[in-house]
Every structure is written in structure tokens, then in C-alpha cells.
Amino acid sequence: MTVRPIRMFDDPVLRSVAAPVQDFDRELRRLVKSLTATMRAGSGRAGLAAPQIGEAARVVVYSYDGKSGHLVNPRLELSARRVTADEACLSAPGLWWPLERSYMVTARGRDMFGKPVTVRALGVLARVLQHEIDHLDGVLFSDHLEAAERERFLAEALTAG
């Protein structure tokens, strides 16, 4: 399947709320396969959301520590326990930033054929799912930073880009 270019953090498509998937058809299966191929095309890639390749659909793929898959129209249930760890984004390459997230999540959605899927994750995979599902709502991980940290991040992102 086609490896697609990843949109950078200042691309307006990353600020749009992705539309729910209505049709579980061949086009959706192509999108999931392209997302997966694009995610796997580089080292250290653990997740990717459809808006990052310019598609305004509520679809994410993930692969971390032997667990991989995709979610269509995902919803998250977050644990109360939170942890801070470094986080990065393929749309802002080379920048890692400490960010607090829920340690454990339950993600519910559908697969590319419309069948219900539930993913229970903790640690890094939970972080990946939260990060990718944020992309579906037009939220970048830098949006979660305190104002001063966000300014530092944006300054570094602009210099790196």
C-alpha cells in the first residue's frame, strides 16, 4: 500500500475535527492500509492518525510492544492515574516533550469491517492511543503543555522545521 507524506504541525488539517466514518468500504480499508504502511515506514513510529496524512476521518493505527491494530471512530475511557513521560509527534519530528497523560485507557471503536473492537492499554501504548485520538479532534500534544512550555515547543518546532 502507499506510504503517504506526514503533515507537519503547522498544517491546518491537523487543527480540524475529523469526521466520523460512515462507510466501512474498500476506501476505508485502503486508508487503514496506507496509514499502517506510512506508520511502519520509519523507525520508532508507534501510531498515526488519518489527519496526519491529510485525511479527515476518525481512524488511527498503532503498533507498540507487540500490539498493533487500528481503530475506526474510537472513544477513550481514561484512568484516574496519571504519569508524566516524554512524548513526540511525527508531525513535529525530532522534538520530545514531557507530558502528563492517563496511565491506562480503554479504547472502543470499530475495525475496518465495522466489527466492534476494544483495546485495553497501559503505559506507552495508552499514551500512543491518547495522542493519536487527540489528532482526530484537532488537538496537538503541545496543546496540553503549560503556556510557557508551549511557547518553547513552538519556538523549537519552527527552528527545527
CA separation for the pair 42, 38 (Å, rounded): 8
Q: Is 135 annotated as a binding residue?
A: yes
Which residue is it, cell 479532534? Answer: 137
Among 27, 55, 100, 132, the active-site one is 132
Catalytic annotation on 149? Answer: no
88 CB burial (10 A radius; 0-12, 13-18, 19+): middle
Strands 67-78 and 104-110: what pairing?
A: antiparallel
CA separation for the pair 48, 29 (Å, rounded): 15
Q: Is 131 annotated as a binding residue?
A: yes
- Strands of the sheet containing 104-110, edge to edge, are 47-49, 59-64, 67-78, 104-110, 116-122
Which residues are designated catalytic? 132
Residue numbers in the known binding site for Fe cation are 89, 131, 135
Binding-site members are 89, 131, 135
